[in-house]
Amino acid sequence: MNTLLIDTTYESCSASIVDNNMHCHYSFNDANKFQSEIITEVVFDTIDKSGVSLKDIKNIIVTNGPGNFTSIRVGVSFALGVAKGISLPLYSLSSLELLSIFSNKEISIDKKFISIMPSRAEEFFVQAFDNNGNKITNILKTTKNELEKKFSPEEYFAVINSLQKEIINLDSFDLIARSFKDMSLDLMFSLEKKKIKLNKLKDINYFSEPAAEKVKSSWYMKKIK
């Protein structure tokens, strides 16, 4: 099943298409531009690489945060527009959950793990999983200093997006850096084997100060005064 995956939560745009033969075609752009200026180019470059047409895509998956609200809204709004325009089902999962899915290879480190992505300054978004990928915590926001207090490097290793390797410095943790291409394939293998089940898009994970809040889908295309 040709599936389009979109992510805009890392101050860049990533898109992939996993085709019927489980081949992954991938594009990204981390140029110093707003995601709204490059998302169309990235998605259609991915479609060109895949050799499939837009009408051949059977469903869309978009990451729904956590992260900057504007960045998330770009990806979600674009995915909503395409899905509604050609009548496709639209599914979502968090970027941290996407990092946690290992399907076609074993995790070599016998520990629980944390998925991490940067927030602002010295803060991180983090979520803990056992070594079978089951959630241990909800999505948390924490500082680097508090991270090691909550999640001992003796008990946890860390998983990050490879695009963030230069930003996230965690010398005390065993670290696995993953590409969006690898994550896309592992997600689709897991879905094919029915190890996981995706939900249709309902909420996005937007973290405001001082706490997290769920933003309803009706906010996606509204200008908040």
Q: What is the pLDDT of residue 105?
A: 62
Q: What angle do CA 168, 174, 178 make, to 5 degrees?
A: 60
Q: What is the pLDDT of residue 144?
A: 85
Q: What is the pLDDT of residue 38?
A: 93
User: Token pair of 117, please?
Assistant: 């992505």
Q: What is the pLDDT of residue 165?
A: 84
CA atoms within 13 A on the CB side of 73: 17
Phi, psi of 82, rounded to the nearest 5 degrees: -65, -45
Q: Which domains does the chain have, with CATH numbers?
A: 3-94+180-219 (3.30.420.40), 97-178 (3.30.420)
Q: What angle do CA 115, 26, 15 make, to 5 degrees?
A: 65
Q: What is the pLDDT of residue 106?
A: 59
Q: What is the pLDDT of residue 96?
A: 96
Q: What is the pLDDT of residue 32?
A: 65
Helix (H, G, I), strand (E, B) or coil at 43: helix
Q: Which residue has the tokens 């991270």?
A: 147
Q: What is the pLDDT of residue 211?
A: 37
Could you tell me if 189 and 170 are in contact, meaning their C-beta atoms sit under 8 angstroms apart? no
Q: Which amino acid is at 140?
A: L
Q: What is the pLDDT of residue 206?
A: 58
CA atoms within 13 A on the CB side of 81: 12
What is the mean pLDDT of each successive set of 10 residues along the chain, which is 225 residues long?
92 93 92 83 96 94 89 92 94 95 73 91 91 91 90 94 86 92 95 89 60 46 43
